[in-house]
Amino acid sequence: MLLDILKEKKCFKLILGAGNEDVDEVEKLVTLYSKAGCNFFDLCPKQEIIDAAKRGIKNSFVKEKKYLCISLGTKNDPHFTKVKINNKLCKNCGKCLEICPQRAISKGKTGCVINKTKCIGCQRCIKVCGENCIKILNNKNDTREILSSIKLSDIDCIELHSIGASEKEVFEKWDVINTTYKGILSICADRTKLGDEFLKERIKKMLSKRPDFSTVIQADGAPMSGGKDDFKTTLQAVATAEIIQNENFPAYLILSGGTNSKSTELAKLCNVSVNGIAIGSYARKIVKEYIEKEDFLKDEKTFSKALSIAKNLVETSIKNIL
């Protein structure tokens, strides 16, 4: 059971991207990381993506049970947004194209074009565009509608990103999820917008609606940061986890957001005890060049090179938690 790997501190969650609708990429990444020892996958809340993840698990031919989670968010959460380029303003300079971690941007005749299926809303392109021509598009965000569009029996956990400042919106969504789904829930907790005290209060209130130890708190540092593989990048995640740890909430704690190969090492050095780790951008980036190959799943040599990289990340991360 999912709760067992959390209790045993063996949880490694691969974040595929709450806005990542690229079916092929999801299938390839899940196949690879499932074989590498990852036991938990965080997905965009779409049935075709859940199906792709299930195929990936099957492809990996491993006996251990793997668990699936979908992520839901509040309005304006970047994880759930896409972007759009105004071609009237675009100078086709290519800066956005170079920085995009998803290779979701390509050059068109009249300016750059976004592949919305691949875009994960990280907004790095917006930061480099000197012409101010990339705008954020909000995705459809009706929790009931999303939950009714997927087979809930296919998933093991639902996560709510609660970084938005609106208490009303967060608790409306939390109540819908709580009443619709009886499995494990996860709170993605980010203190950057809320401040420490407000964050703790919010978590306390969210947990009050749940049985003890049926919830995961994901301490989010710097989500989708794309930073270097060092302590600095992961510092926020460990700092957020420490604040949550000190509250002794009746829940499981995992690191996330700006996480990398150093995260659990830093947590250990700081005496922050977690039940697992979730890694997204970094875990995807280190195998990107292999995953992008059309025949990735058939080319044994390419697959085994990527597998050794993924395995090293999973094993090192877990080793430092235990």
Interaction site with ligand SF4 (CB under 6 A): 83, 85, 90-96, 99-100, 102, 104-105, 111-112, 114, 119-125, 128-129, 131, 133-134
Task: Give me the least distance between CB of 15 and ligand SF4, in Å please.
Answer: 14
- Rounded to an integer, what distance in angstroms lies between the CA atom of residue 90 and that of residue 78? 22
Considering the complex, state which of residue 104 and residue 266 has its C-beta at the smaller distance from ligand SF4. Answer: 104
Task: Give me the least distance between CB of 161 and ligand SF4, in Å please.
Answer: 16
CA-wise closest residue to 255 among 276, 239, 281, 231? 276
- Rounded to an integer, what distance in angstroms lies between the CA atom of residue 75 and that of residue 166? 9
Considering the complex, state which of residue 99 and residue 243 has its C-beta at the smaller distance from ligand SF4. Answer: 99
Task: Give me the least distance between CB of 317 and ligand SF4, in Å please.
Answer: 24
CA-wise closest residue to 282 among 319, 245, 312? 312
For the stretch 45-66, what's the b/e string if a residue is b when 16 or more beta carbons lie within 10 angstroms of its beta carbon? bbeebbbbbbbbbebbeeeeeb
Considering the complex, state which of residue 135 and residue 204 has its C-beta at the smaller distance from ligand SF4. Answer: 135
**In Å, how far from its chain's centre is CA 255?**
11
Task: Give me the least distance between CB of 17 and ligand SF4, in Å please.
Answer: 8
- What are the DSSP calls for 205-247, one per residue? HHHTTS-TT-EEEEEESSTT----SSHHHHHHHHHHHHHHHTT
Considering the complex, state which of residue 96 and residue 203 has its C-beta at the smaller distance from ligand SF4. Answer: 96
- The region, left, alpha or beta by phi > 0 then psi within -120 to 50, assigned to residue 305 is alpha
What is the amino acid identity at position 166? S
Considering the complex, state which of residue 85 and residue 237 has its C-beta at the smaller distance from ligand SF4. Answer: 85
Task: Give me the least distance between CB of 89 and ligand SF4, in Å please.
Answer: 7
Considering the complex, state which of residue 74 and residue 281 has its C-beta at the smaller distance from ligand SF4. Answer: 281
Task: Give me the least distance between CB of 25 and ligand SF4, in Å please.
Answer: 12
Secondary-structure breakdown of the chain: helix, strand, coil percentages, each rounded to the nearest 5: 40, 20, 40
Tokens of 238: 């460990």
Considering the complex, state which of residue 59 and residue 92 has its C-beta at the smaller distance from ligand SF4. Answer: 92
Tokens of 318: 């877990």
CA dist list (Å): 193 to 106, 132, 189, 197, 220: 32, 24, 10, 11, 12
Task: Give me the least distance between CB of 292 and ligand SF4, in Å please.
Answer: 15
Considering the complex, state which of residue 94 and residue 195 has its C-beta at the smaller distance from ligand SF4. Answer: 94
Task: Give me the least distance between CB of 50 and ligand SF4, in Å please.
Answer: 21
